[in-house]
Structure 1
Amino acid sequence: MTDEDVTSPSRRALIGWGGAGLALGAAAAGGTAAALSGGEDKTRPVADSGAAVPFYGTHQAGIATAVQDRLHFAAFDVTTDDRDALIAMLKEWTKAAARMTQGHAVGGGAVSDLAEAPPDDTGEALGLKASRLTLTIGFGPGLFEDKKGKDRFGLAGRRPKALIDLPAFPGDNLDAARSDGDLCVQACADDPQVAVHAIRNLARIGMGTVAIRWSQLGFGKTSSTTPEAQTPRNMMGFKDGTRNISGTDEAALKKHVWVGEKAGPDWLVGGSYLVARRIRMHIETWDRTSLKEQEDIFGRDKGEGAPYGKQRERDEPNLKAMLPDAHVRLAHPDSNGGVRLLRRGYSFTDGTDGLGRLDAGLFFLAYQHDVRNGFVPVQRNLARQDALNEYIQHVGSALFAVPPGVRDKDDWWGRALFS
């Protein structure tokens, strides 16, 4: 990234992790070219995967924004008890995020006249476009009160009631090293190197104040906020997230995603709650399962993605035509009191587990206005009955309160919380 607009397409922007050679430009699911102060993000799908998404607005970008192709998610532990140091870091993070999302380098850039000092930017994104990069921050329960009950930053009284400790669900096998965190940053982009560059620079800026607790790379979005586009497929080969909330459906976003004034607290109004779950798939077992059983488990045909008894994937499903333990039937809003989540999940592959089995699955990300009547009841329903449970296991989990957007250049991530 440079301080000048880049007009020529970058080779890196057309290459996936590991040189997969997947052209991202033609497959981009959204974006908009906009100035740094472009206001609230109301992105529509466009072909240019190098475009910039506005940073400033009522809501943080990266929630209702058209879902990008790549993800780098990082959860951080705060390693200091110094409130002023944490605030200073959040201000610097905000400045850096505002620049990187517009395709600019951090601070003075990766190359300067002072060769004796480390550069302000790590440099691996030099010459690359913004690639619809969005950076979304969230605050975990540990920021308000640590595991020992200590209120390190004077925030315990400002913890939202909905920022709960998620209950244990049947079948969970959670790894503490892949769970929780005081802060999180979700970096989404159409170029994987742009997303990785963003997290790397924030971690560098935060050195001495925060440290990465765990992180996850994701590819192949498994849900879409642009229903007019084709629904993506997950690692099991099925279309996923057909009934996801549209990023342009303001009524549904207000009802199901954004925290309202009555729910509060004040500092979180216009924000949301993010559930992150690392779900490992038993790929080898699934691959030996008959097509008929696979379709029975999901309640959809594998080719078109249509609900059982229907012709097209977006046809209204007849839940009674599915088996009682079919995934679609149990996850459907009609089976959960009308609850809807805005999903932004990604597939992942992280090598093997030492026994020759692929460590792969779904990195589930979902936004909602209250997990207590959102994710929690839906997951309880699935965990107890879903036939898919034979082939998956939840191994990582975290919950974060996601503040509203940064309004202008004088605002910063978390200002209302710390005020």
Structure 2
Amino acid sequence: MFYLNDFISKYVTKRADSLFIRDIEQNRDALSDHIRNSRVLVIGGAGSIGSSFIREILPFKPDALTIVDTNENALAELTRDLRSTKGLFIPGHYAPYAMDFASPVFEKMFRNQHGFDIVANFSAHKHVRSEKDIFSVEALLRNNVLHARKLLELLAEAPPREYFCVSTDKAANPVNIMGASKRIMEDVIFSYSGHFPVKTARFANVAFSNGSLPAGFMNRISKRQPLSAPLDVKRYFVSPKESGQICMLSCMLGENREIFFPKLEERQMMTFDAIAAGLLREYGYEAVRCGSEEEAVEMAGDLNAGSMKYPVYYSESDTSGEKMFEEFYTENELVDMERFYSLGVITGKRAADADKINALFLSLEAAFASDAVTKERIIAIIRAYLPNFEHIETGRSLDGKM
């Protein structure tokens, strides 16, 4: 029988135990002090990271848990999963809502609850493929940046004790709009650090998270479709459980305006083709390299039920915004590597210049109000705000590949 968590431990993270278990055990009392009897709001809680965060905080017995997500089906499945887990604490006030955090009904709900003690926001566009044209770019920036400030304005009415918003390793020296949007998001939340404590975390790819390429491998296999992956892209990976743990540690133990990241070494990086090869072996298949997507699709269409040979197509990366390596901090950021065993902390971040952020928001809104706005214009606006933003443009999108 195939167990995904066992596969991730063996082939992807190559860790039998969580990277963060030592820090959790050493800080268990502090975590309990922060979470027990607290009223918690998790936005984007039905996604891979948000739901993992929820599973990590529940054993510390919050008083109430409110979950907001636009994916109604995922919310229903999350509720079934939580209530079907033996021994898992579920607070008496448990309220999942299928709604958009930028909507008027969310504001009504928030004000009716008179705020929350802990707010964690996981709602985000996370894919580099979300910048294929001006429409996808606008949707990405509204969710990751413009609506993020709208949420912060609402929270300022009833300030939480802790606010956490997930970032990404791609925010360090960004080369794509998604990474740049998360770097701007960091500035936006830090600009509210005078109202309530704000923290974030940059971390690696979450193995087999919803919508990820490895999760796609499993979908392809279930449909007997070929696997496709880049040969030359190396990534750091954490398990789904680890993703929830690093967010919990950052949210509860981080100081105001701190950014957490995992201590991972270059030797722990994985390529996607290696994950695909391991997955096929686990299913009992022998990978057969094809010379093109067309050849791989053709071979997959001819597979019979008993065949153990499986078509794969591996190629060099040639799409816009694809960073060939990963980094968690820049040379200009102060880093504390001693406070935790498995986590580094970026410290000394200043509250961002509110006037500069306002000017950026006005420029973006004015641009999006024009029917003639282009992706190139938005990149120029972002570059004016982030001088180190070096966008990689190849003219090809991941949506043009398998």
Q: TM-score, normalised by structure 2?
A: 0.28
* More relative contact order, 1 or 2 (CA 8 Å, 6+ apart): 1
Q: TM-score, normalised by structure 1?
A: 0.27
